[in-house]
Structure 1
């Protein structure tokens, strides 16, 4: 068997799937520090079940997952698989190849697989146990393992020797057996507790069962007699009811006659009252109309006052207008004078304007004549200048051509330079385009790589989502189971609560009293004694025994309340009950209590062992204050003798020593579990709260699992979205790459075009040089002709200047006259405007005067209208006042008629009251007879209710169960005797018959189960003893063998000296420490801790080689264990490893040359990209064959 392959994905610095295949010889893994080569040994250690993050060189387990780099995202999980050859069947499996896989998610979930089947960590550990493999084996030897061998604590070395001795499986079996033994012992304790609990129930239930059977016989006889007596009584009641019915009908008839007469009298009184109300309503209506007319009269008076005020106001306004008219007549005289002045100035302006127009026309004629002379001279001068201009233009044209040629030459030069610069820039652009094309290619490659990485992450997220779904299913199943437990507890609590409410287990009398108290028919009822106290479970039997039938005593406030209870029970034949009035009950006191507290086995006084409301102190002191509770019967007897049997003593298991010396015992008598039921209800409620908390927690777990599942799905969807993004990025990168390549091709085409243009520019420059020489000759000829023409034109220009100066002076005079004329015209318009405004103002004042006179006339006309309106309103006011006087008289008449009606109403009311008194007397008789009927009916119903409540029988059904009785008195006496007998039985639990059978069967079953568990316990103890002896034998044998092999290996590696292993305590070989003593060549014997660092490391290597000799493992991984050795010892180490490689496969992580030289295959670990390890493989055997080495 050997290690065939190692597959790593997402583990530490190996984000991508990496597969290392191994031969049966030596494989060396090399690489620079920090390249991740030790992560390979960590991966092997991790997949074999290592749980210590410290051993894996991490802070937490999540650190084993690739954490990402600046360019690579982190992975979602880490996965490592070991592929092992199993042709030798080292593993107990049929397959010839075994693959062990471990997967860990960032969420903290771990998964283990063997041959792709999901298993537990325990299964992986058991697979490797006693093979030397596994996390505690010696197949992976790193610096940590060397440190364990070199540890100062010799006990730390035991794990290596136990694994080498092959007893790990035995120790595991022993520990498993010890755990089973511990669980068995716990089960035995629980079973004994249950048996003890049932032992307290079996005997009391047996006694209750016998009592219940006797009770059933008495109850059946009582049933027949009570039914017969009640039926006889029912027949007598029904006979008397017939006469009552006849008397009742006669009284009812008389009541109806009186009632009709009373109703007639009452109706008459009501008619008079109605007539009185009508009179009141008519009077109220008239008063309301009078109020309306008075309101209108008030409005008329107000309107008259307003009109008078308006007349006075108009008179005042007319007087004010008259005064204003007198003032206005003075202002009109002043306006007439201003108008006359403005008209005189306007005539002066018109005369001046006529004079200025004549002067302006003369000057205009002079200006025209001067303009004509200037025009003739200008025409002659223009012709000379035109000829000169033609010459100048020709010269200029030639110069322009020359300039154009120069510009063209410069343009050619500029274009040449520009093209050359563009060519240079084009080369730069081309280089940049080629660089961008290469960058686009890299982006494309990166996108492809990222897409592949995301695919890997998606695979992990898919696995995680499946795992989360499974976790949710398990959490949901757990939640359902807890809910089922909750429902079961709720049902039990509901049953017990119903029993408490129905007072199950109490006597009929107690039930009747409590039912009536709940309905409010009986007052100040506190309840039975058992309901008013709480007892710890330890004291339940003792307190129930001490109380006995007193548990059903009823506590009330006063003696009167107790009397009411007793009378009620007598009326209902409800049986008997003991009443405890709080007001009269006297406390009991145990005088010997202080001395008794010092007696052995004393538990306490009865009333001190329970809890209750302070109001009931006297009640419980009376019932339990003189009852001492002792641990057991021996302590009780000793105390009773010492104190002369003066008080009652009860033991915890229910034995009783009575005052005077009598004893009661044998079993604990319990009253239908009344106190136990309350305790059980409290305990079940506590369990229910716990279960509900667990249900809530389970719901939270389900919600958390669902949230995690949703989160995993979200992560998966996110990763899938990222995959789509990277696929889009790939398409985009492909498009960009294509575009960059197109741009590059276009730039290369432009470069070729530029080369052709440079050749064309060269030819054009030569042609421009020839044209420039011809243009310069033409310019010289034209400039000579132009100079002569310009000289002649200068003479003409001087004459033209004189004419122009005279024309300018005339133009200035014309302009001055024009400006003066414009100013006069502006003043004329302003004067006209002012005159118009003064005339308008004068006309306006005349209009205002006419308007004021018209307004005075209007005021006078309004006052006349107001005077007429006042007269009309005064007439309407007088008519309203007269109408109110007439209606006031009508109201007085209606009041008198109402007084007459009141007298008739009083007479009818008195008659109605007299008849009503007679009606009340008649109704009283009817009510009395009806009450007697109701009483008879109630007695009949009570008897029928008794039949139903006590025996659930209808009248007809009861008649069928009627028995013959001699007489009712004799039957009643027998009923009393039967009730006393039943009462003498005390509290009876009919369910005890069935309960005793159930509990007894449970007791028998648990007793048998206890015997089986006890037998299993003894068998486990024997197994543990056998395993221990076998472990001692095997360990001693293998230890001696390893010790001998260690001495030989040490001698071979060190070239001399000796070494031994010693047990620190030979009598405890399975737990003692192991000491290593060595004597290197030429040195004294020392323990290993006194050696140098290199010597200690070499000794540890020698010990591991010795173990491998004795118990070879399929493969060994060594992680730089020879780092502390010098070159000579490295060579010895490598040579020795080569000798052992025939039986054991070696995988060595190293950076020592001597070790590498002995390897058959070299794996190189590099880190070209920061944080990501890559593998390179060199098969040295193939290289040697190729180079014919050796």
Structure 2
């Protein structure tokens, strides 16, 4: 409402009252302050900032509005109006709003922003967060009506209101963070504690085993000696195996080199043949592609040639018709010219004869007149009457002749039009006959097209059938190729197994001969041959069970007999499994991790009694898919021995062996060796040959089908070419038919007479009819006169006698001849005129036809030249096509010949490679055996080097005395039962496991201690923050509560008010209650108080908070509205006397309030523009006093 520049104030340092009538703009004083303090337009009762710009009559176009608020700090002195300004403390904050709803901030006229302004005001003590400096109209009692505690984080309760003023709200975020940290560390500690308990439980579960192990460890040095013995035995076996494998590797290498040298020339020939096949095949494909391109080019030329032929044919037919028309027109022109000549001659003749007749008529009429003169006296009367009658008849005769002449001319014109129609009718008949001919030709071509389409469909069906057969052939070829590969593999494997059975090691072969001779009945076979396992587990069983090469016997005596035989004959060494000495063990099914199979359960023993032997060497070894799977199973809560399908072995101790590029396999077959016989091998070879024969038949059939397919596909383009020709003929016929039909339609329209001729014909016929009627009417009247003349002439003739009659007859005859000549001359003249018009038309038609004929001749000549050019080009392309096809056929024959040679060589190579594969397999097996034994030798040598005697843990008194690791002889080592020794060593592994669990327990316990310490530290910090918050809050709360009681008692003169905690143990849980006891009344809830009581309660709280934390500025809008005059005076006096340390600006209409103010700011409005005036009542009273 303020227009122009208005200055409100200055305000008093303590108590200023703003007064003025309603609607004058008092509240705009507060709005101006809020505007500068950064409030939105909605807080100033406007929708947009532009609504704040003054817009009274005559000032509607103002662009902006600006408010400046001036501050300075003072040193207060004793006088009511006296103070000293602190040097350099002046501060001016302003804000400018624009029509586009934007605004700018300024601090001391320097551009600033909202953030800087609000931060500066907060630093100077103005509470912009809770607006304690501002109490608007009707809001004063809302302070006392706050809830004890906010329901959510977006609201404020009395607790939050006081906590912000006291300053303890700063602890909220650190306390919450500390609480979250404590909770997080509690979770981590619980996890660590659970782990410690689990490890402790595992450790305790091993206590019994530990005690047993410690008891056994008193003999550990002896067992270390056993380990030494075991390592020496392993080293001996490895060395022996290395020697055997080295010899075998050298032998198989030599065989492989001999085989490769022997067949090197065949392989080289096959390679050259393959290169030749590839090269010829590439050449064939290139020629084939080139031939296809030439064919397509030839087809293109042939199509173009057909198009040219059709164009020539069409042009020729058109030329023939044009020539025929031209000849006809020329003949018509000649005939017309002849007829004109005839008409002219006849006309001349007639006119000459007419002249002669007219002269003769004059002579005869003179003779007749002479006779009449001689009879004048007798006939004068009659003659006079005749003359009068003739004079009377003459006009009528002249009219009749004129009419007749007009009728003759009109009839001649009708004849011309009719003659034109007859000519068109003839042309129409010719055009209709031509349509019939074209239709017959088209039907014939359609039949040819249907035949060609049927042939094409037949070829397409044949191509599909051949492609289907070829597809089936390829599928069968692939099946038989795979079958052949499988048959070759099976035959090769069977042959290898048979040869292995026949070429067993010297040791096994010699011992089995003893069995056959009946010398050692308890000897069975190699352990690996006494059971079968699926090929899938071949690598796993070969890796996990090194004892598969051990020889199984019934008793110790059988084993001793075998050893003795080998020693006497110096055949080498062997390891024996004695069935009678095997301990009875539970081989039943067990529960395994993730239900993986046990290797032992996958073996099918040849006899049930051999199962114990397999279990003795395998125990509970499990099979895993891969190493990851194996690790998961092996290192669970229970340790397992696990082998993977690809040959990696994890022992119970955790050591891992196997793997690498070469794996162990062949230790056990999927069939018993005795099942493979020479007959079975022969049958497998025959099956292989049958497969190979069928495979070759399919290959030959495939070649034939491919050739047939190529021929059929080559025929289809030819049929397409014929179809193309026929379709072009059809298209040409369609064009001819279209032209003929158009001509027929045109001729029919012309035959029907064009509108002009038709209209002219109708006009002529109408005119002829009219003239004829007029002629008949004219003839009616002169007929009587002519009859009278005839009667008079008859009377004259009667008077004149025969001479007069004779002369009269001559004159009449001559007159008739003259009339006849006149009629003929008229007809000749009309015909001549018509003929002259026809000549002009015929000449134009001939000229047009000659021009068209000339154009057609040029077109035909051009087409012939193009056809000749195309013929020459197509002849060259056809020649190229023949040459290319001949070359392609030649290359195909060469390719087939070379392919047959290659197939023959490939068959030989396959047999060679089968033999080489067998040798390579043997070589690889021995190389792998050699490598594995070398690795095992190094492994056991390393372990042997680490063995030493040591003091038993927990027994300080025990010391090994005089015990040294013994070195054994080879015979002593061969006589040892390795499996029993290994079993004794494995039992000691439980101590290692216990120590691992113990170490894990200690580690987990350390982790638990660390996390517990962290948790305790975080908890301590959390509690300290909570304690500090509580202490500071309670200190401020107590002071505010005391001041509230004091303020309320002063304001109400005897009442009581209290702030009390809902939960005395935790003020922050439930919040704060504001209870009031007005004078002479009981304690009441705020909600049950009257409006004035609520206002007094709220003001008491505001003054108490001001005492606790003063705010430099308060702006209050009609806070006394709900108070009676007594309470207004009390509040006004309190503000006057007790609030010297703040600047109160109070808008009031109550004289009890503003009369006590130190300064009055009057607000008034004139011409819709607000103005203000400031006065000091004290000075005003002084002036009045004077």
* TM-score in terms of structure 2 length: 0.35
Q: Which has the larger radius of gyration?
A: 2
Using CA pairs under 8 Å that are at least 6 residues apart, name the structure with larger relative contact order, 1 or 2.
2
